[in-house]
């Protein structure tokens, strides 16, 4: 498949990539609101300007807020790699069904990671499983893309 055909609306892999990547990016952006919500709910403000004018409020850390922040940082470390790998995979002329399932499962695993890490904490290995699923999918897409482009 040449580049121009890859970029056509009719390319189901590209449409699936854009759809699932969009969902993942919305989830990533919503993490900031989840952090802010938890800060407000727990009264855990980190900056002096956030508490100005409020009585009996001090700067403090809260474990629930920090948990959400760590989940957000984990997203910021892993989602870009998934997105770049997915885009390269789109250009490798993959099997449509396989590509769509990889995108779906990868995004749903990242959403699951947020749920079991930041929203409703669950004991390990739940977080590890959701993390490793997306990591393995990302690695697969990278290796498949390299193989397709270098005819390995």
Average pLDDT, the chain: 91
The string of pLDDT tens digits covering residues 73-107 is 999 999 999 999 999 999 999 999 999 999 999 99
Angstrom distance (rounded) from CA 22 to CA 77? 17
Instruction: For residue 59, give the 3-state DSSP assignment.
Output: strand
So where are the chain's domains? 3-149
Return the CATH number of 3-149, one of 1.20.120.550, 3.30.365.10, 1.10.10.1100, 3.40.1190.20.
Answer: 1.20.120.550
3-state secondary structure of 137: helix
Model confidence at 5, pLDDT cuts 50, 70, 90, reads: low
Alpha helices, H only, the chain: 3-6, 12-42, 48-51, 63-90, 96-114, 126-149
pLDDT for 35 equals 92
Q: Could you tell me the pLDDT band of residue 56, with boundaries at 50, 70 and 90?
A: low
Instruction: Tell me the average pLDDT across 25-32.
Output: 97
pLDDT at residue number 55: 65
């Amino acid at each position: 498949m040449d580049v121009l055909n890859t970029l056509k609306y009719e390319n189901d892999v590209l449409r699936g990539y854009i759809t699932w990547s969009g969902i993942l990016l919305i989830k990533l952006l919503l993490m900031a609101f989840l952090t802010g919500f938890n800060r407000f709910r727990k009264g855990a403000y980190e900056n002096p300007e956030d508490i100005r004018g409020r009585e009996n409020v001090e700067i403090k850390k809260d474990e629930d807020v920090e948990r959400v922040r760590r989940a957000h940082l984990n997203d910021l470390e892993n989602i870009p790699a998934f997105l770049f790998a997915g885009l390269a995979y789109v250009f490798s002329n993959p099997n449509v069904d396989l590509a769509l399932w990889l995108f779906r499962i990868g995004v749903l695993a990242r959403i699951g990671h947020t749920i079991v890490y930041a929203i409703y904490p669950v004991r390990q290995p739940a977080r590890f499983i959701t993390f490793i699923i997306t990591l393995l999918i990302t690695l697969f897409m990278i290796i498949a893309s390299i193989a397709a482009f270098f005819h390995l």
